[in-house]
A and B are shown apart, each in its own frame.
Chain A
């Protein structure tokens, strides 16, 4: 049988502040244990209480993760090619002074290729346009036979720089040269499909086969397999720019009529934006507005646009969920305080100070919030990973946002518990213990 400790107590200070007794104290570890015990004894209620926080934190993590994943995917889709192409179109002069039924001179200067080439970041540049042919224009490999003809060939005029910028991969022969352009040679390069249609063998280029376009002969000097820009997926026949001007006249300017003169510019990776800003003024200092420049969208802008539109909405929803979660926790904790006045009174009777009572309920609500935050973070991460997996994307989760996400729940729980904890601390032990 334990015996009473006994002994006289003395107060060493007049005010009685320093007793020879240990001051009442609630160790952090004990407070945490009490909080967990308080939650565990009502697991069902704890789960329901946490739902708001789970949804809020889960939505927060999922939204940030999904937007980051989506943006990552967008930047992934920006292949080097798309990001290295600038297109300039000739929209025509403001006042058309050309005689009726003729087109004004093209907006690009004669040395357009060289001007563009001087801009830092440009690897190749040149002017090209689809040559407007009359209806029923015929393409044949031989005037005599006239058998093999094709109506679906696009006749394009292209400067030597444009041919280079198109990035042709030659099957045989060579691309158009500056010499051929300046001397207005009747030469052409065609793609392998067109060559096959016309019955021109790449191996027979040495015999100088010709293609007759409405009777005008063009010697095929090269056959290309594939192209990086402009003529990537169509049958085309390229003839020198100056030859086309001599044979068919100026192209009709103006965006939308499909035949306007254009400039294709190949740039180094990342230089497209900078080149696009300079090209119009460099090519046509007197009337830069005549040239319409198209550059690939800035991937960074696209990313922030996606984050801005989508994430903004969902983050607001996440905030609302968190608010509902906070109200839920506050409500449950308040109910718990009212329910457990007897317990509060008893704890006061065994030496707890009001702040210990407050700390206990604060610890409970904070633990609830943290648990909700943890579960929500797990669900959010799961949603992002599953979504990315189904789309075959790479899941992107920024640890700066993801790792501290459970703490959002902690803060919600802490704030939500403030008022109930205050109520608990103010509970009179007398009233609590009077009736059982």
Chain B
């Protein structure tokens, strides 16, 4: 049995003061491969801090974070960049697509820094866009895509490297309910295909899709009620 995808052991993040702000109090959590976890909480509860820590965009002040069995807390910036580029895919609320690049070029961007052989990139990007149902809009510019389509391009970009962890930060935050439902269906399919997904949201409708719910409030992480269709 391989190691859990995520293993948090007393992970905490305090922003230096004065006064110091404990954004995330020591938290422990294990997420196995194939899990589908929703992290819910109100604004300012520490959701974003947790996302940044899980996405290796920020470093914890305390505790350990094991990704695929590897203790990331002691890694150099170079190795953390390598993990971000290979093992983690992040979907942002604001999509963060490059406006002058086509859908497929935006997906290709995720393969730029992780030594994906040049000849394999286009095929992987096309497959990823196919997987989110956008195989017919490869050359569309983000300005011509709807919000739902844009977010699905962002999902394709996150999964093109077949990461161990798909991190979604309020993925439906900028979408209407129909597009949100379509996106959640994509995430469900990805989870069914074996992807480990962590969704950070304040939307209960999104949280119901997850098999596990984790609540965060005032920086304190607590295992919530198992929700959804698990």
A binds B: yes
Write the nearest CB–CB distance from B152 to chain A, whole angstroms.
Answer: 14
Question: Judging by beta carbons under 8 Å apart, are B74 and A350 in contact?
Answer: no
Question: Judging by beta carbons under 8 Å apart, are A3 and B193 in contact?
Answer: yes
Known contacts A17-B79, A23-B78, A37-B100; 14 further A-B pairs (Cβ under 8 A): A1-B131, A2-B131, A3-B194, A4-B33, A7-B164, A8-B2, A8-B3, A16-B70, A17-B76, A345-B96, A351-B85, A352-B81, A352-B85, A436-B92
Residue B25 CB within 8 A of the other chain:
no
Write the nearest CB–CB distance from B51 to chain A, whole angstroms.
Answer: 10
Residue A229 CB within 8 A of the other chain:
no
Residue A34 CB within 8 A of the other chain:
yes
Number of B residues, CB within 8 Å of A: 61
- Mark out the residues of chain A between 29 and 70 whose CB falls within 8 Å of any chain B CB in the assembled complex: 29-30, 34, 37, 41
Question: Which one of B48, B98, B160, B163 has the greatest number of beta carbons of chain A within 10 Å?
Answer: B98
Write the nearest CB–CB distance from A347 to chain B, whole angstroms.
Answer: 7
Write the nearest CB–CB distance from A392 to chain B, whole angstroms.
Answer: 49
Residue B122 CB within 8 A of the other chain:
no
Which residues of the other chain, A, contact B83 by a CB distance below 8 angstroms? Answer: 9, 19, 21
Question: Judging by beta carbons under 8 Å apart, are B81 and A1 in contact?
Answer: no
B residues with a Cβ closer than 8 A to A are 2-3, 33, 48, 52, 55, 57-58, 67-71, 74-79, 81-87, 90, 92-96, 98, 100-101, 105, 109-110, 112-115, 118, 124, 127-128, 131, 157, 159-164, 174, 189-190, 193-196
In the assembled complex, 6 residue pairs joining A and B whose CB atoms fall closer than 8 Å, in A order, are A2-B124, A2-B193, A22-B86, A24-B115, A41-B100, A352-B113
| Given A1-B131, A1-B189, residue A11 in contact with residue B81 (CB < 8 A) | no
Question: Judging by beta carbons under 8 Å apart, are A24 and B101 in contact?
Answer: no
Which residue of chain B is the closest to A11 with respect to CB atoms? B70
Question: Judging by beta carbons under 8 Å apart, are B86 and A21 in contact?
Answer: yes
Which residue of chain A is the closest to B111 with respect to CB atoms? A350
Question: Judging by beta carbons under 8 Å apart, are A3 and B162 in contact?
Answer: yes
Which residues of the other chain, B, contact A17 by a CB distance below 8 angstroms? Answer: 76, 79
A residues with a Cβ closer than 8 A to B are 1-11, 15-17, 19, 21-27, 29-30, 34, 37, 41, 342-343, 345-354, 356, 429-430, 433-436
Which residues of the other chain, A, contact B127 by a CB distance below 8 angstroms? Answer: 2
| Given A3-B162, A348-B57, A436-B96, residue A37 in contact with residue B101 (CB < 8 A) | yes
| Given A16-B74, A34-B112, A350-B113, residue A433 in contact with residue B81 (CB < 8 A) | no
Question: Judging by beta carbons under 8 Å apart, are A350 and B110 in contact?
Answer: yes
Which one of A8, A15, A24 lies within 8 Å of B74 (CB-CB)?
Answer: A15
Write the nearest CB–CB distance from A231 to chain B, whole angstroms.
Answer: 79
Question: Judging by beta carbons under 8 Å apart, are B48 and A434 in contact?
Answer: yes
Which one of B94, B115, B157 lies within 8 Å of A436 (CB-CB)?
Answer: B94
Interface of A is mostly: loop
Bound together, the chains give a CA A194 to CA B94 distance in angstroms of 101
Which residue of chain A is the closest to B100 with respect to CB atoms? A41
Bound together, the chains give a CA A2 to CA B155 distance in angstroms of 13
Which one of A5, A30, A342, A353 lies within 8 Å of B164 (CB-CB)?
Answer: A5
Question: Which one of B52, B67, B81, B86 has the greatest number of beta carbons of chain A within 10 Å?
Answer: B81
Which residue of chain A is the closest to B174 with respect to CB atoms? A436
Which one of B71, B90, B92, B95 lies within 8 Å of A16 (CB-CB)?
Answer: B71
Write the nearest CB–CB distance from A16 to chain B, whole angstroms.
Answer: 5
Which residue of chain A is the closest to B173 with respect to CB atoms? A436
Question: Judging by beta carbons under 8 Å apart, are A351 and B114 in contact?
Answer: yes
Which residues of the other chain, B, contact A434 by a CB distance below 8 angstroms? Answer: 48
Question: Judging by beta carbons under 8 Å apart, are B87 and A21 in contact?
Answer: yes
Which residues of the other chain, B, contact A6 by a CB distance below 8 angstroms? Answer: 2, 33, 68, 164, 194
Question: Judging by beta carbons under 8 Å apart, are A349 and B112 in contact?
Answer: no
Which residue of chain A is the closest to B48 with respect to CB atoms? A434
Bound together, the chains give a CA A15 to CA B92 distance in angstroms of 31
Bound together, the chains give a CA A17 to CA B77 distance in angstroms of 10
Question: Judging by beta carbons under 8 Å apart, are A351 and B81 in contact?
Answer: yes
Write the nearest CB–CB distance from B100 to chain A, whole angstroms.
Answer: 4
Which one of A4, A348, A349 lies within 8 Å of B194 (CB-CB)?
Answer: A4
Write the nearest CB–CB distance from B31 to chain A, whole angstroms.
Answer: 13
